Amino acid sequence: MIRPQAKKAKIQKQFINDLQKGDKIVTIAGIHGVVHRLNDDNTIQLEVNPGSYMKIERSAISLEWSQQLNKTATTVAAKN
């Protein structure tokens, strides 16, 4: 039971460390946005609307929802 949880935590940590400017993400609160800047204090500047930014903690990013968002966007682009 501990092994799957540790594996999931490792994947979550890797996802957060690999974030780059321009990545689409969803927070655990359900806020959608695009990474605008990665700060040194373990925070991210998230663009939620053009010209509108929020400062969030990296730990507030939802791996599952972000992957689902990006999977849906890829599927829609492939159909067009």
* Residue 27 · residue 45 · CB < 8 Å: no
Q: Which residues contact 38 (CB under 8 A, 6 or more apart)?
A: 19, 20, 21, 44, 45
Centre a 10 Å sphere on the Cβ of residue 63 and count the other Cβ atoms it contains: 18
Write down the pLDDT at residue 34. Answer: 94
By percentage, how much of the chain surpasses pLDDT 70?
A: 88
Write down the pLDDT at residue 38. Answer: 94
Query: How confident is the prediction along the chain (80 residues), in pLDDT tens digits per residue?
Result: 678 888 888 988 898 888 999 999 999 999 999 999 999 999 999 999 999 999 999 999 988 877 787 777 666 666 65
Domains and CATH numbers, the chain: 2-79 (2.30.30.140)
